[in-house]
Amino acid sequence: MFPAKSTPDPSERLAGTAALSRAEVDRLYAEVAPGLQRFLHSLLGCEADAADCLQDCFAVLVARGGECLPAARKAWLYSVARNQAAALVRRRATGRRATERRGIEQTQAEPPGSVWDVADLAIRAERQQQVRVAIESLRPEQRQVVELRIQEDLTFKEIAQRLNIPLGTALSRMHKALQRLAEGLQDPPEI
């Protein structure tokens, strides 16, 4: 009733797991890079960002490209490109939101060195110290995830791999850490 499943040729499976040769990477770059660059530029709207993402795509290809079958590599690279572009957009949006939320943007209204500028710097330094103390007060496993995410800019998947924990555990630790930090860093009520 159903067609018999054919088992893949073992040589195809092995080809899908072997590391790519330099010649194969060079060939794929020559064939795919121009279209991939245009695709990334259409997603990001910036030539420099597109070039950075293109470089990241080929770094992933070198590291993991042998995992997919040769016939699927071009499509796989476009998926990697889309994911790299989305990650860049998320990182930038997260940074913007954090900056806006904390009011760190420097105003141009006051000249550098004014009384308000010096006061602002003092407030920022105090706030940074509060953040450092709050991070140090986290449980070690939570602090480790926060530091890897912020200082090394690792994705949660990379954090999970580095710590040899499930992805859900890494996400849960970050969520709990952020809750504790939010509670500990709330501004005191004004009198």
Q: What are the structural domain ranges in the chain?
A: 10-105
Question: What's the confidence (pLDDT) of residue 187?
Answer: 59
Question: What's the confidence (pLDDT) of residue 185?
Answer: 76
**pLDDT values of the chain reduced to their tens digit, one per residue, 191 residues:** 444 444 444 334 334 456 788 888 999 999 999 999 999 988 888 888 889 889 988 888 888 888 888 888 899 999 999 998 888 888 877 766 666 666 554 444 445 555 556 677 777 788 888 888 888 889 999 999 988 888 888 899 999 999 999 999 999 999 998 888 888 777 554 44
| 50 close to 9: Cβ distance less than 8 angstroms | no
- Its CATH class, for the domain covering 10-105, is mainly alpha
pTM: predicted TM-score of the whole model, two decimal places: 0.45
Question: What's the confidence (pLDDT) of residue 176?
Answer: 92
Question: What's the confidence (pLDDT) of residue 111?
Answer: 52
Question: What's the confidence (pLDDT) of residue 166?
Answer: 93
Question: What's the confidence (pLDDT) of residue 142?
Answer: 92
Question: What's the confidence (pLDDT) of residue 113?
Answer: 52
Question: What's the confidence (pLDDT) of residue 112?
Answer: 53
Question: What's the confidence (pLDDT) of residue 36?
Answer: 92
Question: What's the confidence (pLDDT) of residue 12?
Answer: 40
